[in-house]
Amino acid sequence: MKPATVSHIALVVLVAGILLSAAILVSRTHVHFGYIDEDKREAQSAIDQMHSRLAAGEYEGIFDDLDTTLQETASREALIDGIRKTNERWGAVKRVTHRSINVLADRAPVEVRVVYNTSFEKGDATEFLILVRRGEKLRIAFYRVYQGTTVPKEFSVTAP
SS3 38: helix
Radius of gyration of the chain (CA): 22
Instruction: Compute φ and ψ for 118, nearest 5 degrees.
Output: -125, 135
How many helices (DSSP H) and strands (DSSP E) are in the chain? 5, 4
The packing angle between helices 36-56 and 76-90, to 10°, is 80
d(CA 1, CA 151): 70
pTM above 0.85, yes or no: no
Q: Going residue by residue through the chain (160 aa), what tens digit of pLDDT does each one get? A: 555 566 767 676 666 667 656 555 544 444 445 589 999 999 999 999 999 999 999 999 999 999 999 999 999 999 999 999 999 999 999 999 999 999 998 888 899 999 999 999 999 999 999 999 998 899 999 999 999 987 666 554 444 3
User: Number of C-alpha atoms within 13 angstroms, CB side, residue 131?
Assistant: 24
Helix (H) or strand (E) holding 56: helix 36-56
d(CA 149, CA 134): 30
Instruction: Compute φ and ψ for 37, nearest 5 degrees.
Output: -65, -40
SS3 1: coil
Residue type, 71: Q
The answer to whether residues 123 and 114 touch, using CB atoms and an 8 Å cutoff, is: no
